[in-house]
Structure 1
Amino acid sequence: MFLLKLIIRNAFRHKLRSALTVVGVAIAILAFGLLRTLVGLWYHGVEASSATRLVTRNAISLVFSLPLSHKDRIRQVPGVQAVSYGNWFGGIYIDEKHFFANYAVEPKSYLDLYPEFVLSPEQKGAFFLDRKGCIVGKRLADTYGWKIGDLITLRGTIFPGQWEFVLRGIYRGAEKSTEERALMFHWDYLNETLKKTMPRRADQVGFYMIGVTKPELAAEVSQAVDGIFRNSLAETLTETEKAFQLGFVAMTEAIMIAIKIVSYVVIVIIMVVAANTMAMTARERIAEYATMKTLGFGWVHIAGVVFGESLVIALSGGLLGVALTFPASHWIETELAQFFPAFPVSMTTIYLDLAAAAMVGTVAGIFPTWRGATIGIADGLRRIG
């Protein structure tokens, strides 16, 4: 108990120096935690993917389409429970700065496959009945102040022209992390327009969504679907929704690696700063350690005091950094909702934060601990005055 009190008093004896070190560690841990959370969010779409949904696309690339006639043949594959289809529309609202995802889908089958998009029965019925109707996520509607019945105009890029939609529903996500910044409209509306303006692009879909009866059948159904269209003019590639999402994540893998490296560099930098602080502290207290040895304290006690002081400062900064992580993540969710619909800090991140703080304290305290424990009494007392 005596040594614990001594450790705490010594840790904050130089209040300004200790406070600056604690704040420095806290900022480093805060940055480390937020960066690790960002990396986790990058893979969140993969983790949230359903085990009973498959994605079928053109085997060459997503850029190439598939015939609508594939739908009936896919539906006949054993193990397939439902089939839906759609196109990435890529329309622009106002200008390029106001980007959000927008799709043309077959409404009934698509919403059946995605129960995480929660829509009231009244709004769902109105959407089904209106060929020019669309639904949007709650966050997207809040961003632009849209209300039911509003007219929304998108400028087509993949499909040129001015496209008008009537807002018939605003869906909410079943989970906090569910995407609520998307617009979906009738694939038939897109197809009928293409038949008039670009007939050769009509009756073509960008992807098929397949619901299987059991997750264990995913591989078997994927092989069966691709086998049907092998050597055809439009061969397919069928994979689980998770694998499909991973394909997009892989395109940005270099960015994720860079973010991870930056998070580690932040910890290393603050480790060097903390080590310098502890080295200064140990150098100033050499005479005190020598005096403690003359009073009967062994090297174990001296090492415990010095090492404990380093851990107390580092963990104090770590706890402060963890405490600041939650309001920081809330601010990101509120102010940057366009980019981060949810920014949840997981317990794994908290444990990593505390482990990083403990590592900073451990590494920073190694040399001062060795110095204080091995200093001779005569050498230490010689420094007095």
Structure 2
Amino acid sequence: VSIVFDLPQAYKEKIENVPGVVSVGYGTWFGGLYKNDMKNFFPNFAVGPDYYIDIYSEFVLTPDEKEQYLKDKSGAIAGAKLADRFGWKVGDPIRLTGQIYPGEWDFTLRGIYKGSQQGVDENSFLFHYEYLDDKMKETVPEMSGAVGWYVVKIADPTQGPEISANIDALFKNSPAETMTETEKAFSLSFLAQMDTIITGLRIMSYLIIGVILLVLVNTMAMSARERISEYAVLKTLGFRPYHLGGLILGESLLIAFSGGILGIILTFPVLGGLAKMLQNFFSGFKVEMITIFMAIVFTASVGFLSALFPIYRAVRIKIVEGLRNVG
């Protein structure tokens, strides 16, 4: 059982008859290229008429756009970000070159959908599955009558596991078995494939923090060594050890937070560039407040730890030895 294997379109009616199911949508990956250029790649799907319109309420079309899209078999809808990327307007003709389904495919853009909330994908291109299937029946009959996946809307989310099991039981031991899971679990299964990369990035982040700590410790140690005579003079003037410790710690924290705050500020434009590069794969990136909080904690920790040795040395030095020291 895998998403790479198609499912018969005839499954739709059987799934609709499962108790607890409200509606069933379906779709398949089309994989067409705009102007036959990989640089113009974007996700494009052939979907049932109710797929994104009725099941996914977070995809917002105007009533007129919805009506025009449903009436036109070769009509298509595109996300707002995708339309902005290519300068598309409602009514524009769009041609995609099929990479999986051969031929040139002509569409008319009937609507531009927007997400009802932040994080909703606005980079996809959707058109009627009927248009794809009818053409396949004429040109490549063996590729017709199959869909990539079904999306099921249920009345009671708490019955999700039971309904999923009932759906899978319908097609058990058939040539095309199903694996029904929640949308969240389905999305996480894709992210799990990137777990090794994410783990590598996390380890690299810790290594970078370690290197920064070593560099800052070395900088503070050199600074303390060069200022031994100054610390000795301060001691003769009556400065207590905690005064010296406060001066050194303050300098260390100032250096650490100068770099840390700059890094936090630069995170946002860098993240914006990364989001633009990966917009076809992820709907969006954002920096959570917990991430900023952790960055501040790590910055403070680096500043504090790098000051420990210089403070110890400055406090332990004797006045006579310090005054005798020359850099």
TM-score range, shorter chain: over 0.9
- Of stretches 244-253 and 264-273 in structure 1, the one that deviates more from structure 2 is 264-273
Instruction: Give the C-alpha shift of residue 135 in structure 1.
Output: 0.3
Q: What is the 5 A alignment of 1:123-138?
A: 123-138=65-80
Q: Per the alignment, do residues 338 and 66 of structure 1 end up closer, same or farther by CA in structure 2, a change over 3 Å counting?
A: closer
1:242 aligned onto 2:184: yes
Q: What is the 5 A alignment of 1:142-161?
A: 142-161=84-103
1:204 aligned onto 2:146: yes
- Of stretches 286-295 and 107-116 in structure 1, the one that deviates more from structure 2 is 286-295
Per-residue displacement from partner, 1:54-102 (whole Å, max 9, x unpaired)?
xxxxx2x222111112111111222211111111111111211211000
Per-residue displacement from partner, 1:184-226 (whole Å, max 9, x unpaired)?
0001111111111122222111100011222211111111111
Q: What is the 5 A alignment of 1:95-114?
A: 95-114=37-56
Residue type of the alignment partner of 2:11: H
Which residue does 1:188 correspond to in 2? 130
Larger relative contact order (C-alpha < 8 A, sep ≥ 6)?
A: 1
Asked if structure 2 preserves the Cα contact closer than 8 Å seen for 1:138 and 1:180, the reply is yes
Number of residue-to-residue matches in the alignment: 326
Which residue does 1:284 correspond to in 2? 226
Normalised to the residue count of structure 2, the TM-score between the two structures is 0.92
Specify every segment of 5 or more residues in structure 2 that has no aligned partner in the other structure, as ranges.
none
* Two-structure CA RMSD over aligned residues (Å): 2.1
Q: Per the alignment, do residues 193 and 331 of structure 1 end up closer, same or farther by CA in structure 2, a change over 3 Å counting?
A: closer
Which residue does 2:319 correspond to in 1? 377
Q: What is the 5 A alignment of 1:1-385?
A: 59=1, 61-94=2-35, 95-330=37-272, 342-383=284-325
Distance 1:337 1:202 in 2: 30
Distance 2:274 2:167 in 1: 42
SS in 2 for 1:209: strand
Q: Per the alignment, do residues 243 and 330 of structure 1 end up closer, same or farther by CA in structure 2, a change over 3 Å counting?
A: closer
Instruction: Give the C-alpha shift of residue 325 in structure 1.
Output: 3.3
Asked if structure 2 preserves the Cα contact closer than 8 Å seen for 1:136 and 1:183, the reply is yes
Specify every segment of 5 or more residues in structure 1 that has no aligned partner in the other structure, as ranges.
1-58
Q: Per the alignment, do residues 333 and 69 of structure 1 end up closer, same or farther by CA in structure 2, a change over 3 Å counting?
A: closer
Asked if structure 1 preserves the Cα contact closer than 8 Å seen for 2:43 and 2:123, the reply is yes
Asked if structure 2 preserves the Cα contact closer than 8 Å seen for 1:127 and 1:168, the reply is yes
Distance 2:193 2:148 in 1: 20
Distance 1:69 1:97 in 2: 36
- Of stretches 288-297 and 360-369 in structure 1, the one that deviates more from structure 2 is 288-297
